[in-house]
Amino acid sequence: MSAPVLIKVGGALLENAQALQALFAALADVQRLRPVMIIHGGGCIVEQQLAAMGMVSEKKDGLRITPPEQMAVITGALAGTSNKQLLAYGLNAGMKAVGVCIGDAFTVEASVLDPALGCVGQCSEDGSAGDPALLKLLVDNGYTPIISSIAVSREGQLLNVNADQAALALCQLLQAELVLLSDVEGILDGERQLIPEIDQQKADQLVAEGVITDGMAVKVQAALQAARTLGRSIAVASWREPEKLTDLLAGKPVGTKVLG
């Protein structure tokens, strides 16, 4: 069987029904050629549900600060609402979609990143800590895992892992091809023009200049690490053009190619 492709989605996509339908139709076509897995964020839904509970949401360096008292709401938003919303679109597209989280069966092991950030989790640097058996079982039997980035520590604590970093851990664990889908067409320069290719040196320069910031900085660093670990380029592209997914996976230039 071909190596699976792991698609990371999030952002405004989760509030765009038309784009979700188009994306899952494209993914159903891709799945006829190779196994597909989807990992997702859901920051917009997290913020809505926290606000509804009268809670304030803050970020630091692109990571959501997660006080223990907010973890139940964040878990519900990501592993519940966001995950099942995407599950419904997958099923409607004809996929055998199954909703899971990275904590299921300790697929990805995580620990507390920094006590100052609360219940924010980090995965192992090389993606080796975890057990891919559950996802392999699902994929080998024709199911499409739709995965939230909620983890569980060895001490039994629920942790909120950044979805780009969770995608990195999964692709390392499964030797999957990684595609990071964003609200924009790829990584943009200071003039908001697409950068066709980027490496660590160029990324560091753009971060230093304040061009790449916050969530995009986390995404780029995850892609760079994945490219180094897997020994192949990683794509950062837009979910707004799902019809280009087949071209992208065939090696044609779409979005930004991140080089290790």
**What DSSP designation does 81 have?**
I
Tokens found for residue 47:
């913020």
Catalytic residue among 10, 11, 80, 121: 11
Catalytic residue among 41, 121, 130, 219: 219
H or E segment and range at residue 101? strand 97-101
Catalytic residue among 10, 41, 103, 164: 164
Q: Is 16 annotated as a binding residue?
A: no
Q: Is 130 annotated as a binding residue?
A: no
Q: Is residue 164 among the annotated active site residues?
A: yes
Catalytic residue among 8, 80, 103, 186: 8
Q: Is 240 annotated as a binding residue?
A: no
Cα torsion for 136, 174, 160, 28, to the nearest 10°?
Answer: -60
Beta carbons of 208 and 195 less than 8 angstroms apart: no
Q: Is residue 43 among the annotated active site residues?
A: yes
Spacing of C-alpha 31 from chain mean position: 18
Tokens found for residue 102:
């990275």
Using alpha carbons, list the distances in angstroms from residue 38 to 180, 197, 208, 250: 10, 24, 31, 18
SS3 for 228? helix
Distance CA 132, CA 216 (A): 27
Distance CA 89, CA 20 (A): 7
Q: Is residue 156 among the annotated active site residues?
A: no
Distance CA 19, CA 243 (A): 11
Radius of gyration for the chain, computed over Cα atoms and rounded to the nearest angstrom: 17
Q: Is 103 annotated as a binding residue?
A: no
H or E segment and range at residue 236? strand 234-238
Catalytic residue among 10, 41, 43, 90: 43
Q: Is residue 8 among the annotated active site residues?
A: yes
Please enumerate, by residue number, every residue annotated as part of a binding site: 42-43, 64, 160
* Residue list, annotated binding site for substrate: 42-43, 64, 160
Active site residues: 8, 11, 43, 164, 219
